Amino acid sequence: MTITHAPAPAPEVSAELPTEAPEHERVLITHGPRSGLTIIVAVHSTRLGQALGGARLWRYGHWTDALADALRLSQAMTLKNAAAGLARGGGKSVIAIPAGVTLDEARTRDAMLDLGDAVESLGGAYMTAEDVGTSAELMSVVHERTEFVCGLPPEEGGVGEPADATAAGVHASIIATLDHVYGSPEVAGRHFVVAGLGQVGGRLARSLAAAGARLTVTDVADGKRALADELGADWVEPGDAHLVEADVFVPCGLGGVLTPDVARGLRVRAVVGAANNQLASRDVATMLQRRGIVWAPDFVVNAGGVIYLDVAGTPGADQASLDARIAGIGDTVAAVLRSAGANGSTPLEAAELLARDRLDAAR
């Protein structure tokens, strides 16, 4: 499809938008009638099945930043769902909170109703769920307007939030990466820098600490120092986290964290984290490889959440098969790193190849 957007004076547009999005099947940009907020639903691919991806409620300088985010994130969901072996396509929705606006409860609810209408208008091409800025409770508001939503609260018959599964998948990926790098999967005694102690990062910091890891942690929210104290972890300021000498850097905040500067400054053997779209640009994957730093591709590592939403929502699903699927993320990471090593490619290229093979097989 082609996105047509009028040229605007440069200072007003801060995101680099493609003039065409030929790979996206559908992109809906709408002005929520109740909330007055810009809502974008990007369906990248339904080749493997209904597109599945969360709804992000986030602050953007300009609505085109939100559009660029939705285009990138939905594309990554296609790769993530394919690499995870799900019969799901890739999509994402983004609700843009303009600079200087704070949403109260009523307007947040309106935004979710608007999102529900937008999702419903796509007739089932896309299923939404919680993501950064949204929650199981907010998904139950979306559910007032559409059936195409998952991750509803358990008391409403839903499967709840997927952060436990995501954190478990990242933990499995860390073990696989340690084995690849050091020839031993042992977490105990290894030093991890966890950047971002939210839903996933907080759980992961706990599971790593329980496994005997040494932790240095950070968050832009100072209140997270309490968790650092509880776990006996060292605290570092967010801007210095990548400079800590350690075994593994674990980005669990927002995307774009691996800039060329960060890649040059890292003093670890591996990067394995939950954050989506960690690479600020593709060439960072090559920079990391040249520095001998193993990057486990984010869209493989953090697939626990979608696997959970897909598998737990299927009638008859049991915990054992779900656990096996989550643990399988570690096997996929190991296979991707092996294949990258054997072919001299970056782990990014190896993971994309795995996903593309599955997409091609579905043609």
Ligand X SMILES: NC(=O)c1ccc[n+]([C@@H]2O[C@H](COP(=O)([O-])OP(=O)(O)OC[C@H]3O[C@@H](n4cnc5c(N)ncnc54)[C@H](O)[C@@H]3O)[C@@H](O)[C@H]2O)c1
Output the known binding site for NAD(+): 196-201
Q: How far is the CB of 56 from ligand X (least distance, A)?
A: 8
Q: Is 200 a residue that touches ligand X (CB under 6 A)? A: yes
Q: Is 162 a residue that touches ligand X (CB under 6 A)? A: yes
Contact 69, 56 (CB under 8 A): yes
Q: Which stretch binds ligand X (CB under 6 A): 2-10, 34-42, 45-53, 213-221?
A: 213-221
Which residue's CB is nearer to ligand X, number 85 or number 238?
238
Distance in angstroms (rounded) separating the CA atoms of residues 76 and 70:
10
β-sheet bridge partners, residue 235: 217
Q: How far is the CB of 278 from ligand X (least distance, A)?
A: 8
Draw the binding track, 275-314, toward ligand X (x: CB under 6 A; -: no contact): xx-------------------------x--x---------
The structure tokens 């986290």 sit at 241
Draw the binding track, 122-161, toward ligand X (x: CB under 6 A; -: no contact): ---------xx-----------------------------
Residue 80 known to be catalytic: no
Q: Is 218 a residue that touches ligand X (CB under 6 A)? A: yes
Contact 279, 348 (CB under 8 A): yes
Distance in angstroms (rounded) separating the CA atoms of residues 97 and 63:
9
Q: How far is the CB of 355 from ligand X (least distance, A)?
A: 16
3-state secondary structure of 215: strand
Q: Is 169 a residue that touches ligand X (CB under 6 A)? A: no
Q: What's phi and psi for 349, nearest 5 deg? A: -65, -40
Q: How many CA atoms lie within 13 A of 247 on its CB side?
A: 21
CA dihedral (296, 286, 213, 331) in degrees, to 10, reads 20
Distance in angstroms (rounded) separating the CA atoms of residues 165 and 150:
15
Draw the binding track, 241-280, toward ligand X (x: CB under 6 A; -: no contact): -----------xxxx------------------xxx----
Other C-beta atoms closer than 10 Å to the C-beta of 124 total 13
Catalytic residue IDs: 92
Residues near ligand X (CB under 6 A): 131-132, 162-163, 166, 195-201, 218-221, 224, 238, 252-255, 274-276, 302, 305
